[in-house]
Structure 1
Amino acid sequence: MRTRVLPVLIALSTLLFVSACGGATSRNADGNVIKIAGVNLMCFSPAFVAEKLGYFDDEGLDVTIVPTDSGDASVTALLGRSVVAVTTGFDTPIELTGKGQSIQSLAGLEMATIYAFVGGNTFPQIPPNNPQAFVDAMKGKRFGVAASGSTGDSIARGIFAEYGLNPDTDVTIIAVGTGAEASAALRTGSVDALITYEPDLTQITTSGTGRIVFDLRTTTTESTYSKLPTSTLQATTEWINDNPETARALVRAVTRANNTLRDDPATALPVLEELYPDLAPDLVANIYNASRDHFTSEISPQTYDAAMKIYQNTGLITDDVPYEEVVATQFSDIWNLKTSE
Structure 2
Amino acid sequence: MRRALGPLLVVLALASGMAGAGEAKTILIVAGTEKQIFLPAILAERLGYFRDEGLDVELQSEPSGVRAADVLLAGSAHGVIGSYDHTIDLQAKGKSVQSVVQLAIAPGEVELVASRAADRIRSPADFKGVALGVTGLGSSTSFLTQYLALTHGLRLADLNLVPVGAGAPFTQAMRQGRIDAGMTTEPTASLLLASGDAKVLVDLRTPEGTHKALGGLYPFSCLYMETRWIRKHPEQVQKLVNAFVRTLRFMAGHSAAEIAAQLPPEMLGGNPAIYVQSLAGSKAMFTADGLMPEAGPATVLRALQTVNFAVRNKPVDLRETYTTDFVRAAH
TM-score range, shorter chain: 0.7 to 0.9
CA RMSD, Structure 1 to Structure 2 (Å) = 3.3
Of all paired residues, the percent bearing the same amino acid is 23
What secondary structure does 1:227 align onto? coil
Superimposed CA distance per residue, residues 39-82 of structure 1 (whole angstroms, 9 cap, x where no aligned partner): 313222212211211222333x2222232223355434433444
Rounded to whole Å, the distance in 1 between the matches of 2:213 and 2:102 is: 19
1:178 paired residue number: 165
- Structure 2 counterpart of 1:154, from 133, 140, 143: 143
Q: Per-residue CA shift, 1:305-337, capped at 9, x if unaligned?
A: 2211111112262223212312123225247x4
1:14 counterpart residue number: none
Question: Deviation string for 1:224-254 (max 9, x for gaps)?
Answer: 2673222211222222222222222221210
Aligned length: 301
* TM-score, structure 2 as length reference: 0.76
Q: How far apart, CA to CA, are the structure 2 residues paired with 1:234 and 1:198?
A: 22
Cross-structure match for 1:16: none
Alpha-carbon distance, 1:256 to partner: 1.2
Match for residue 44 of structure 2? 50
- Matched-pair contact (CA < 8 Å) for 2:215–2:299: no
Contact 1:159 1:225 in 2 (8 A): no
2:245 and 2:263 map into 1 onto residues whose CA distance is 17
Q: Are residues 289 and 143 of structure 1, via their aligned partners in 2, closer, same or farther at CA, if it must alter by over 3 Å?
A: farther
Aligned equivalent of 1:228: 218
2:315 matched residue in structure 1: 320
Task: After TM superposition, give the deviation of residue 291 of structure 1 in Å.
Answer: 3.2
Answer whether contact 1:32 1:246 (CA < 8 A) is retained: no
Q: Deviations over 1:122-147 (max 9, x none)?
A: 34479xxxxx96346x2667241324
In structure 2, the CA distance between the partners of 1:196 and 1:73, relative to structure 1 (3 Å rule), is: closer
Contact 2:143-2:307 at 8 Å conserved across structures: yes
Q: How is 1:1-341 mapped onto 2 (pairs within 5 angstroms)?
A: 33-39=24-30, 40=33, 41-59=35-53, 61-70=54-63, 71-124=65-118, 134-135=123-124, 138=126, 142-146=130-134, 147-163=136-152, 165-168=153-156, 173-175=160-162, 177-179=164-166, 182-187=170-175, 189=177, 191-218=179-206, 220=209, 222-224=212-214, 227-265=217-255, 267-274=258-265, 276=267, 278-296=269-287, 297-315=290-308, 317-318=311-312, 319-334=314-329, 337=331
* Cα distance in 2, alignment partners of residues 275 and 81 from structure 1: 29
1-structure distance, mates of 2:212, 2:233: 41
Distance 1:142 1:77 in 2: 31
Distance 1:72 1:174, change over 3 A: closer
Which deviates more, 275-284 or 301-310? 275-284
The alpha-carbon distance between structure 1 residues 275 and 190, as it changes in their structure 2 partners (threshold 3 A), is closer
Task: Look up the SS of the partner of 2:298 in the other structure.
Answer: helix
Report the counterpart of residue 8 of structure 1 in structure 2: none
Q: Secondary structure at the match of 2:296?
A: helix
C-alpha distance after superposition, 1:182-235 (max 9, x if no partner) = 445544555543322234323422333222233222454715267322221122
1:306 aligned counterpart, secondary structure:
helix
Q: Secondary structure at the match of 1:272?
A: coil
Per the normalisation by structure 1, the TM-score is 0.74
- Look up the equivalent residue of 1:202 and give its one-letter code: S
> Which amino acid letter does the alignment assign opposite residue 298 of structure 1?
L
Shift of 1:272: 3.0
Structure 1 unmatched ranges of 5 or more = 1-24, 127-131
CA contact (8 A) 1:107 1:233 kept: yes
CA distance in 1, matches of 2:246, 2:235: 17
Shift of 1:303: 0.9
Q: Is the CA contact 1:144–1:194 (under 8 Å) kept in the aligned structure 2?
A: yes
- The alpha-carbon distance between structure 1 residues 181 and 270, as it changes in their structure 2 partners (threshold 3 A), is closer
Residue segments in structure 2 that go unaligned for 5+ positions in a row: 1-17
**Secondary structure, aligned partner of 1:222:** helix
Q: Which has the larger displacement, 104-113 or 197-206?
A: 197-206
3-state SS, counterpart of residue 86 of structure 1: strand
Task: Describe the shift of the 1:224–1:57 C-alpha distance in structure 2 as closer, same or farther (beyond 3 A).
Answer: same
- Corresponding letter in the other structure for 2:189: L
Question: How far apart, in 2, do the equivalents of 1:89 and 1:57 lie?
Answer: 25
Deviation at 1:38, TM superposition (A): 2.6
